[in-house]
Structure 1
């Protein structure tokens, strides 16, 4: 009986050893198997995303070539674009696009060439070549990207550069002249139907209503605003239409009365005139109403008369005595508030505003 017990214990010990060996082998193999399984699953997902990305990249290349073939002007502008379907063909739209998990972008940029004609990072701009960097990226599992760079040329159209006086002189000038101030330029010639170098009174004079003395004038395209103010016998202003005939014709569209006008400034829908009224040195008239109606006014501090007026944007400028005042005309109705003032060296009689500067 004792010998049998020893045999049983030996078999139990052998089984334990085998179990431990099996566990050790499993501990070694299981991580590798698990890693392989996970990598296989991730690789399958990545491969699917990459396949879609390559297809989107190929589609983008074909699309940008079609857009180029339709006209060089379609890819002339630099920037980031993406292809869009436009009827039966392709076009480019600004910005990137999202296709499922993918982001596609086409970056168009200029190309430069060195003295040997090779593409370089700097040198002479090649107006007939564009660089297109196409990039498709995704962030599934981890960031990935496929990309390709194309160089597209204007092979169907030639570029002609004309920059000298001789180049321009060979053409036909229509109200332009060729000069040679800096090697060759085209500048505007005499405008309209007159010659500034040889002025003449070709328009029939227009008699303003009543017997006032005309002392103020302002003009925009096709319109003249005339004011009278040296006496009380005329209208405050007359709105005059200038016809585009040869010679031009003038006709009065309407008038407004009630003030002596010292200066006038006109826009398409409103007229501003400086008056001798101490409570309304500047009066604003609405030309859209029929008859013309007073819309608003500016009352400058003190008791002086309004000598001059001009408007730039939403700011009005006026002089009274030795003061320059600015006032708000973002709204035309009612009493307009003052914005600021400057004391002048002498009395301001006339004012002009250019690029934020007032010339008095």
Structure 2
């Protein structure tokens, strides 16, 4: 039965990825055309084809439709896709290396740590690496936070559920306190910028942010997928993985650095967007199984789809106002986290 079930799940993988890809394309067309200036999906496709040098399809018929698409909508949609893919992949990898379905950059405090690094750069006015300085600050702080969480939550060679969750509570509390202190020390513009981090938003999306975050995502996804087989072996247990030739500690350290890179890409220009990396990989795993060759790309595509759809809802649910994206994802992800927490406890037979 196990073999048959595994075969069925493995067969679902390509179908799931194809379905998610179609859904992603559909939500991109809808999100790019929706706003105060309405543009039809055919006109969105026509505009893209004309930019590629193909005289096919209609151009936006409304005034300023082209500029609305290429200066406002497309940067926002592309950045949302990058952020969602980074969070989805980072969540899947963290769950793999911690061996825990509750691991996620936002839940265990990594996003808060990275946001502190970004806020510190904003307040101090550092510009050592130009446009990359904020992302670099987020990366360093995220890396330190991830290693701290890893070391604190380990006990007797394993990562415990309760310890991991409580570590996240503590890290988020410390991160919130540090951000509050930085807001106290900052001027009015700094306070506004840090408030943006706490709420999470894509309102400041632009092509510069896209070109900075895209390489981070490409490197992270490529490295994670290249190590997908090792992550599968790690799921068998540390001893089994070592007997099969996996250097467990080296793999964990490499993946921690990679998730810090993806986390930095996610928060550097949008602030804290929670629960995407928790919910998406878990749902993918329920459908297609735990194999990382399917889980990683599907989580990336699913995360991109979710963040684009959430951002579309955030800017259209209330007329002429924009809801904070991080608040919206937390409102949906919070109940999902409680359900997953209860499900994990029931399966484990207690808080062992």
TM-score interval, normalised by the smaller of the two chains? under 0.3
Say which structure is richer in helix: 2
Higher-Rg structure is: 1
Say which structure is richer in strand: 1
Calculate the TM-score normalised by the size of structure 2. 0.18
User: Which is bigger in relative contact order (C-alpha 8 A, separation at least 6)?
Assistant: 2
